[in-house]
Amino acid sequence: MTTSAAGPARPPARTARRTTRGARLPADTLAATVLALVGAGAAAVLLLWWQDTRSVGGADQWLTGAGRITGLLAGYTAPVLILLMARIPPLERGLGADRLARWHAAGGRYLVGLLTVHVLTVVWGYALTVHRNVAGEAVDIVLHYPDMLKAAFATLLMLGVGAVSARAARRRMSYDLWYHLHLATYLAVALGFGHQLTNGADLGPGPARTCWYVLYLGTAAALGWYRLAVPALRDRRHRLRVAEVRPEAPGVVSVFVTGRRLPELRAEAGQFFRLQFQAPGLRWTANPYSLSAPPHPDFLRFTVKDLGRHSAAVAALRPGTAVRAEGPYGALTARRVRGRGRPVLLLAAGVGITPLRALFETLPAPRGGLTLVYRASSAADVLFRDELAKVAAARGARVHYLLGPRAEVGDTGAALTRLVPGLARHEVFLCGPDALAEAAVRALRAAGVPRGRIHHESFSL
């Protein structure tokens, strides 16, 4: 079933004010720059091996050389992956949390592969060199080489984290459990650092070792500052508290958070915070929640659906509960369309309406050029119906509801083509469950929307 709402055009005055801050590097340009820097670092690491290797002859040297290369690359990759998830604001705001998470996940698989090859080739190569069986050489290396016991434990930890991070394993555990197991990565990196210096043939005293120290200590400093110090300082400055928990629909609540000097947070519609509620069962995990209304000088609104233990416990929060917040983060903001003058489509599915509800009120769009398509299983699952109608009336925007099971709603692409004339010309903001989002992206691409005009953030990776 499809229903619609529309009204006369009158963009709210706050729209222009929220989109006139200093220009930033475009997300695609920033992504290319970051990847180029990471690639240059990897090339520099390979150069270390090249400079210290005069010749390679025989199977033992080929295997040992492969072990040195993969060991260097693994040692370089580990801090880079931590930096990607260190909550560094220019990266979180400029690239978006989902892109960073995808890079981190892909890099994690790469790191696990490098570590596996490193262990196998080094042990095998050393065994051939001393004419010894592989098992005996492995035991000798672990027990008698300096820092190898710690390195062996670090490797097991890293491989274990890689195993529980696989999609099949992730589906079988709660976010909280996965999150805390994932923290073992930090311990693994710390334990493995000494082994790299004492046993790494390419990291002897000199510039290479100095650069290695700078990389690791700089990563530790960034992690400590952005993950620990900044939230603590912000907590003292803003004193965020839960003001109200308001039911919105079955299993869905809005949490209103108040505090001091909220405009100094510089939050924008479409962004999210990682919230750590100081209440039993919630204080040790920071989960991402999107702003479901434009930031107000006196409060921030987050809307939470019961999708697990953490989100279910949020519904029981009491007014006055302290909130520790990291953010704002995210690149799903009006900056994506500023000055382009294209019509804009907001495509929401389920609780994915939360960031798009805030954008619906604030995104700049030409007169009559703003459309919201909201997919929900039933009328009871629709959030903010009255608010959306008021915004549509004020802005001359259109709202279309696609209600019912997927089989009843029909093909997403056909529905969008029918509801949104000139679909290929639109800038599209998309938020919803991954399966529906992937299907929507395919439908949009098939309808002629360029990939660069489809903006999507996900927090499930």
Query: CA dihedral in degrees (102, 103, 105, 108; nearest 10)?
Result: 180
- Please say if the pLDDT value at position 317 is more than 80: yes
Confidence of residue 350 (pLDDT cuts 50, 70, 90): confident
Calculate mean pLDDT across residues 396-416.
76
Query: CATH number of 2-19+333-456: 3.30.450.40, 3.40.50.80, 3.90.1150.10, 3.40.1710.10?
Result: 3.40.50.80
Instruction: Kindly report the CATH number that applies to the domain delimited by 237-329.
Output: 2.40.30.10
Using the structure block, give the residue that is written with the tokens 């869905």: 252
- Overall average pLDDT of the 96-109 stretch: 87
Stated pTM of the model: 0.77
pLDDT digits (tens, 9 = 90+) for 219-276: 999 999 998 898 889 889 999 999 999 998 888 899 999 999 999 999 999 999 989 8
Mean pLDDT of 422-432: 88
Strand 454-456 vs strand 427-431: parallel, antiparallel, or unpaired? parallel
Q: What are phi and psi of 388, to 5 degrees?
A: -65, -40
Lowest mean pLDDT among 23-32, 244-253, 314-323, 324-333: 23-32
Closest to 197 measured CA to CA, from 234, 129, 249, 151 = 151
Q: Which residue's entry shows tokens 């434009």?
A: 294
pLDDT of 61: 86
Q: 363-386 b/e with 16+ CB inside 10 Å = b?
A: bbbeeebbbbbbbbeeeebbbbbe
Residue 438 or 322, more confident = 322
Best CA proximity match to 255, nearest among 397, 354, 135, 352: 354
Tens of pLDDT, residues 271-303 = 999 898 998 878 877 788 999 999 999 999 999
Question: Do 285 and 179 touch, CB atoms closer than 8 A?
Answer: yes
* Contact indicator for 229, 69 with CB cutoff of 8 Å: no
